[in-house]
Amino acid sequence: MAQEIIRTEYSEVMQKSFIDYSMSVILARAVPDVRDGLKPVQRRTLYDMYELRVDYNKPYKKSARIVGDTMGKYHPHGDSSIYEALVVMSQDFKKSLPLVDGHGNFGSIEGDGAAAMRYTEARLAKVTQDVYLGDLDKNVVDFVPNYDETEKEPEVLPVRVPNLLINGSDGIAVGMVTSIPQHNLGEVVDGVIAYMKNPDINTAEMLEIIPGPDFPTGGIITNKDELLQIYSTGVGKIKIRGKAQIEKIKGGKEQIVITEIPYTMIGANIGKFLNDIYSLVESKKTNDITDISNQSSKDGMRIIVELRKGADAQNVLNLLYKKTRLEDTFGVNMLAVADGKPETLGIVPIIRHHVNFQYELCTRKYTTLLGKEEERKEIQEGLIKACDVIDLIIEILRGSKDIKQAKACLVEGITEGIKFKSEQSRKDAAMLKFTEKQAQAILDMRLHRLIGLEIEALRADYDETMAKIAEYTKILGSRAEMAKVIIKDLKSIKKEYARERRTVIDNVAEAVVEEKPIEVIDVAVLIDRFAYARVVDMPTYERNKEAAETESKKIVFCKNTDKICLFTGSGEMHSIKVLSLPFGKFRDKGQPIDTAEKGSKLDLTKENLIYADSMENIVSKKLLFATKSGMIKLVAGSEFDVSRKAIAATKLNDKDEVLCVKILEPEHTVVMRSAKDMFLRIDGDSIPEKKKTAVGVRGMRLADKDYLTEIYILSDSDAVDVKVKDKTVAINRLHVANRDTKGVKK
């Protein structure tokens, strides 16, 4: 068979493939349908539970059974996604209206995961069975083939309330994300009824009925005035903060008790919130917090923040709002699949889609019910008619050879081959014109139906059927009548399942923190040989001076409000706020100086710390930079007074490194010493001042494979002796020579 090579543009193939993949993820996985507010995995899980008859009033069934059945029949995307959907639908702290009744460990608000599916059990919640799946047997939605076309699954569930608003949704698709907050069922039902009575209702009027989100964790929404814009466009940010109260405790102290948290904090973010409070204390942002404890239980949330005596509790609470997730934002993007495509919708369009869906459901439901009642009517009329001529029918049955002959007589009046008692009976039998269904019902009828009371009951059933036909015809013939039925249904749902609002909505002023001025004191920053740093006040340092000088690699004297500058052998300068370092007792361990500043790139396990000083001390001075290859320069200390935490302090040639960084006064002389014991003493004035980005000039002319090992800074009165092999050299007596010379051998 001849093969044909089709040539096409690669970019076009990629574009089409990516669009197909994107739409598959959007429609089949990540984004909910505006009609039932469910993603496919949620819809399929609930439908499978419906098929398995895991009803609310029946025993629980193993989650593994439900997950496996769902995966095998409808959702071939792995068991973890199905079980996760099942778990979330059962968690009352994540869903305003849980759809699954879970039995066992289904996780906690603090982020504990659910037990494995083999240990947990589940069944449908009553509301799910009544409101979400109740009319599935009435042909109200279309059924489509499953992934391998061996089963049928509903295209959408016949949900009678706007689940998209009540339970919200979140999901990440390709190139788009959905994030819909949850709302109060009773308020949403009232909003739907208001829309049905006035389809021209606008967003502002709708927000008088549905004022905003109602999260299962409660909390306070603080930007009420911005909700109109958010619900009009379907996009925006809702500011939400936890509820807290200030309580007095023994000893004249106060404590902050957090009883409700923002919805965005549930899960692992509660632990992060507690860590953020610890960080505020450790970083000296506040000294008023003495203890934190999480006393939450099944009775509710209770996080205690204990304060020191005399602390301004309101100011600390404002600090928590400002610096932690106790006040957070919920990003709103009300994206849903509407009419087969993803669309960002406001609150009124969402309700409009829902109401149109309800009219469709109602039309199909009552069309199905009307058809069934008309079938019943046909059969009931046949049975009533049969009761009036029961003797003739019995005669036909006794005289017929088989069922087929008897049925032909009842339906078409064919009497040939049937034995009658009289010719009149034959003539009467020829006049019978029952329908196929009536004839079959007569043939199936039991003799006890001939009792007088049974016949009366049959006539009563017929009257009831006729009343239902009239009712259903009336509903289907008038949109207004159908609206009454839907509204009545919604009111009954609200009466049974609505609950009080949990989230408060208001305009709340932004939290303002009054920062108390820090008391400025003289301190000593002690950096040991393991690069651990700690800060002590000067009286503490003076009492432990000898031990401090022995144990510390670097000691920097400064103010507690200053920054210390750390110069490394690689030519970097790192600045660290003294307030970022732990302040305490002399024997405290301290903390690695690398981790003192958040985002710091300092790593003293790989770099050599050359020099440390306070910013206040160096900013008005000149710093001498010397490298192992003999390059030297002066740099104004003001060049290092920058806001960045790390900068290049000098430029280095290849394979060179900084040997020395020191403050140099004009009257100083500089002595350079090399590995081959060459010494050169020069005037400080002979060293040119350069920018920090310059390499510098040659300070000493070095022999091949020689390099500088030490730099000495001398004043006129200094007497400095250094050891050179077996002798001592007084370097202060060296002759002052010119820069860029070889020096003298010692």
pLDDT of 518 strictly over 80: no
The token pair that represents 671 in the structure block: 């002595």
> What dihedral do alpha carbons 82, 86, 88, 89 form, nearest 10°?
130
pLDDT of 451 strictly over 70: no
C-alpha dist (Å) from residue 256 to 275, 281, 306, 506, 516? 16, 15, 6, 21, 20
Predicted confidence band of residue 390 (pLDDT cuts 50, 70, 90): confident
The pLDDT value recorded for residue 2 is: 62
The token pair that represents 667 in the structure block: 């009257």
Predicted confidence band of residue 412 (pLDDT cuts 50, 70, 90): confident
pLDDT tens digits, one per residue of 313-336: 999 999 999 999 999 999 999 999
Distance CA 560, CA 541 (A): 14
CATH architecture of 522-745: 6 Propeller (2.120)
Q: Are 244 and 257 in contact (CB under 8 A)?
A: yes
Q: Give me the catalytic one of 21, 56, 60, 119.
A: 119
* Boundaries of every domain in the chain: 31-159, 243-325, 356-496, 522-745
pLDDT of 346 strictly over 90: yes
Predicted confidence band of residue 23 (pLDDT cuts 50, 70, 90): low
What average pLDDT does the segment 539-548 reach? 92
Q: How many CA atoms lie within 13 A of 354 on its CB side?
A: 28
pLDDT of 449 strictly over 70: no
The pLDDT value recorded for residue 129 is: 94
What average pLDDT does the segment 550-563 reach? 91
What average pLDDT does the segment 281-294 reach? 84
pLDDT tens digits, one per residue of 697-717: 999 999 999 999 999 999 888
What average pLDDT does the segment 303-315 reach? 90
What average pLDDT does the segment 449-467 reach? 79
pLDDT of 25 strictly over 70: no
The pLDDT value recorded for residue 433 is: 83
The pLDDT value recorded for residue 474 is: 93
Instruction: Find which of 72-81, 486-495, 545-554 is predicted with most confidence, using mean pLDDT.
Output: 486-495
Distance CA 650, CA 610 (A): 13
pLDDT tens digits, one per residue of 45-82: 999 999 999 999 999 999 999 999 999 999 988 899 99
What average pLDDT does the segment 440-449 reach? 76
The pLDDT value recorded for residue 18 is: 61
The pLDDT value recorded for residue 261 is: 93
The pLDDT value recorded for residue 473 is: 93
Let me know if 21 is a catalytic residue. Answer: no
The pLDDT value recorded for residue 1 is: 52
What single-letter amino acid sits at 129?
Answer: Q
The three state secondary structure string of 60-96 is CEEHHHHHHHHHHHCCCCCHHHHHHHHHHHHCCCCCC
54: alpha, beta or left? (left if phi > 0; alpha if psi -120 to 50): beta
**DSSP secondary structure letters along 162-203:** -HHHHT-EEEE-SS-EEEE----HHHHHHHHHHHHH-TT--H
The pLDDT value recorded for residue 409 is: 82
Distance CA 49, CA 59 (A): 12
Q: What's the topology of domain 243-325?
A: Gyrase A; domain 2 (3.30.1360)
Predicted confidence band of residue 20 (pLDDT cuts 50, 70, 90): low
pLDDT tens digits, one per residue of 362-385: 999 999 999 999 988 888 888 888
Distance CA 354, CA 356 (A): 5
Collapse the DSSP code of 595 into the 3-class scheme (helix H, G, I; strand E, B; otherwise coil) and give the result.
helix
Mean pLDDT of the chain: 89
Query: Residue 218 class from Cβ within 10 Å (0-12 exposed, 13-18 middle, 19+ buried)?
Result: buried
Collapse the DSSP code of 725 into the 3-class scheme (helix H, G, I; strand E, B; otherwise coil) and give the result.
coil
Structure-model confidence comparison of residues 429 and 567, the more confident one: 567
pLDDT of 659 strictly over 60: yes
Predicted confidence band of residue 6 (pLDDT cuts 50, 70, 90): confident
Predicted confidence band of residue 526 (pLDDT cuts 50, 70, 90): very high
What average pLDDT does the segment 531-540 reach? 91
Predicted confidence band of residue 421 (pLDDT cuts 50, 70, 90): confident
pLDDT of 204 strictly over 90: yes
Among the four given CATH numbers 1.10.287.90, 3.30.460.10, 3.40.640.10, 3.90.199.10, the one describing domain 31-159: 3.90.199.10
For the chain, what is the radius of gyration of the CA atoms?
A: 43
- CATH fourth-level superfamily of 356-496: Topoisomerase, domain 3 (1.10.268.10)
